[in-house]
Structure 1
Amino acid sequence: MKDTPSKAVIMMATYNGEEFLSEQLDSLITQTYKDWELYVSDDSSTDNTIKILQEYRKKEPRIKKILVNKEKHGAYNNYFNVMHYVKYNVSTDFDFYFYCDQDDVWVKDKMEKEIKVISDQKKPALCYSNLELTDSVGNDLNISMCDLTNINLENKYNLFFSGRYIWGTTMAHNRELWDLMFLDKDLNNRFQIAHDSYVGKYAVAFGKCIYLPDKLVLYRRHDNNVSGIPGKYNPIKRMLTKMPEIINNHASIYWEDLYFIKHSPYRNDFLNRLSKCIEKGSFYSWGFLNKFNISTSDSKLSRASIRVILFFKLYKLSKTFQRKII
């Protein structure tokens, strides 16, 4: 690790978050790791979110910029808006990068623990942690994200077939990973891509992805959550009643994979094979799934659905997959 002090950046996305925003900001301010700057993109909130952010900025000099996203809206584009600003408009050489939602609470040593994990990594590295679910007023539900989904990347390549692994508010990565990442300079070219999955793909393909079992974020669940959580369901009933939704979910993931592959700085055997798997389908896709032991669920039916959707390229029927990859 370098001798000079290390600095971190936190990128936050907000939208109509007045009810819980202050508690999240307070949890950042009281972090044991102090050397950070906060940049915020607000998705044109109509409540007091901007006012709260401005009030905090007056008393907290580490809050550097409050952007208002007036163009392409939605949680994904809102995150890319602040990432774009940090990438192309901030001259500070940050060592560590964090992503923050508006309605959760960070455990006070979250940043310190994650920085400790990645600070000695010489290649692109990302770490992410478990989450503790709370209700709308912050009461512990005694449920962690690991109770609901296999968050640990036992096979890192599963990330390219499911969006259930890395939760953005828990992740941190080093500058080496940030420098690899493609962010289109033309904001008009942004699409609905999950920032956490996108960043995670870079770590899996070209670096190291480290899981921390510590529950470093109190993940608040309430009626206005932008993101959801995985739920338990009857797989047969889901297949029969929600097949269009399942196909759309697959389409979104594969579209993101191809976007990532197109803009990745390097190519390797896995990415070349992944591209062919998605584009060719048929028995090639089955061979790929077997070779890389892809399995995103313990459900046999779930594993079968991946094979069927890829074999017949059903994902290409989705409107999601009709977007041009620029």
Structure 2
Amino acid sequence: MLIFLGAVYRDWGAAVHSAYSGARSSDVLVGCESSVALENDHVAILMCTYNGGAFLRAQLDSISSQSHGDWSLHVSDDGSTDGTHELLRSFQHLQGAHRVHLYAGPGIGFVANFLSLTCREGIHAQFFAWSDQDDVWHEDKLQVALKWLRRVPAERPALYCGRTQIVCEAGAHRTFSPRFTFAPHFRNALVQSIAGGNTMVFNLSARALLVEAGWHVAVPSHDWWCYQLVCGAEGEVRYDPRPWLMYRQHAGNIIGSNTGLNNQLKRCRMLLEGKLRGWNTQNICALEKMQHRFDEKHRRSLALFKAARQQRLPWRLLNLLRARLYRQTLMGNIGLFAAALLKKI
């Protein structure tokens, strides 16, 4: 049995590398930096807040300093009881009510808040950017994203995302989020989210997928969900290895970074406790309701993944190998293999 499992893992790794070693994200990014006129491309910035008064001002200042000036800010607050409302109203007064729009969130968590804001009627734009309340954007964040997004035909879903610079509560540099090298793909999206929603900018076609799925969909995170939908619908995804925002780590973070030994151990514990399996169950259920938008090969990968989760060894491993699922790092693929062995996927 050990010999068999070793052979399966070796073949699994070979399949991943042979399929994707020629499609590195650095290759996908070639030619995206030539100048494009962006001034007429309106971006709706979708920010969700909850008791973010301690850091919100710095994020608002970084938004107002964007080199791409054609934006509007839409903020959904989930019932803040600190100074968040006052900061937002002050910013609205400064920028104008035509540019800054404030809404009451559903009050049932950050995923529902982001998705309900994304699906809200009356927000009109060519592009959409998710924003957290406690980051600081580089002044060219939107401009860099739009230089790539403008190259994708408007009828095709497109998602830009990337790395972050991780800073401490006071704003001092700590590290960077992991740099991923394999190209984004649905077979990756099924088992991994490659970027935070705070880095994501997407076009109107990608938003249409999210709207069709609805904001009540039960998924573990809005950013992972967007990555899965866009990949499944044969859209284009760009992962930018350069960070264009400072991601602030503090005690109030709902989801922390995945760097450092403590965070890695935390994720291992979550895997053993079955949280990863629960998240996959949610994602699969939601994806099946949208698979009419997917390419046939992606529907097949989804079906193989769903079936494998219920099967016994060695069929579980064999069907996962057939599905050719992969994560972005060696340790991530080892973790995926371990989760399959333990029936925790």
Output the CA distance in 1 between the equivalents of 2:102 and 2:63. 16
Structure 1 residues 198-217: aligned runs within 5 Å: 198-205=225-232, 206-217=234-245
TM-score (norm 2): 0.77
Contact 1:129 1:211 in 2 (8 A): yes
AA aligned to 1:171 is M
Aligned pair 1:222/2:250, yes or no? yes
Report deviation, 1:180. 2.9
Could you tell which deviates more after superposition, 153-162 or 208-217? 153-162
SS across alignment from 1:38: strand
Distance 1:292 1:155, change over 3 A: farther
Structure 1 residues 37-186: aligned runs within 5 Å: 37-61=72-96, 63-69=99-105, 71-85=106-120, 88-90=121-123, 92=124, 94-122=125-153, 123-141=156-174, 143-146=175-178, 150-154=179-183, 156=185, 157-163=187-193, 165-183=194-212
Q: Cα deviation per residue 1:100-133 (whole Å; 9 max; x = unaligned)?
A: 0000000000100110011021122111121111
Contact 2:184 2:239 in 1 (8 A): no
**Which ranges of structure 2 fall in alignment gaps of 5 or more residues?**
1-35
Output the CA distance in 2 between the equivalents of 1:172 and 1:203. 12
Output the CA distance in 2 between the equivalents of 1:21 and 1:234. 27
Distance 1:234 1:167, change over 3 A: closer
Equivalence for 1:324: none
Report deviation, 1:253. 2.9
Aligned pair 1:276/2:303, yes or no? yes
Output the CA distance in 2 between the equivalents of 1:34 and 1:108. 10
Equivalence for 1:30: 65
AA aligned to 1:167 is G
Report deviation, 1:211. 1.5
Equivalence for 1:298: 330
SS across alignment from 2:164: strand
Distance 1:305 1:104, change over 3 A: same
Distance 1:119 1:284, change over 3 A: farther
AA aligned to 2:94 is K
Distance 1:135 1:232, change over 3 A: closer
Could you tell which deviates more after superposition, 13-22 or 298-307? 298-307
Output the CA distance in 2 between the equivalents of 1:169 and 1:18. 18
Contact 1:273 1:288 in 2 (8 A): no
Contact 1:42 1:68 in 2 (8 A): yes
Contact 1:12 1:40 in 2 (8 A): yes
Aligned-residue identity in percent: 21
Q: 2:320 aligns with which of 289, 305, 310?
A: 289
Contact 1:162 1:253 in 2 (8 A): no
TM-score (norm 1): 0.81
Distance 1:280 1:190, change over 3 A: closer
RMSD after superposition: 2.9
Output the CA distance in 2 between the equivalents of 1:179 and 1:169. 19
Output the CA distance in 1 between the equivalents of 2:340 and 2:118. 35
Output the CA distance in 2 between the equivalents of 1:15 and 1:116. 31
Distance 1:96 1:211, change over 3 A: same
Equivalence for 2:286: 259
Could you tell which deviates more after superposition, 293-302 or 251-260? 293-302
**Which ranges of structure 1 fall in alignment gaps of 5 or more residues?**
316-326
AA aligned to 1:97 is F
SS across alignment from 1:214: coil
Q: Cα deviation per residue 1:249-269 (whole Å; 9 max; x = unaligned)?
A: 232134213302312442323
Distance 1:258 1:106, change over 3 A: same
Report deviation, 1:231. 3.9
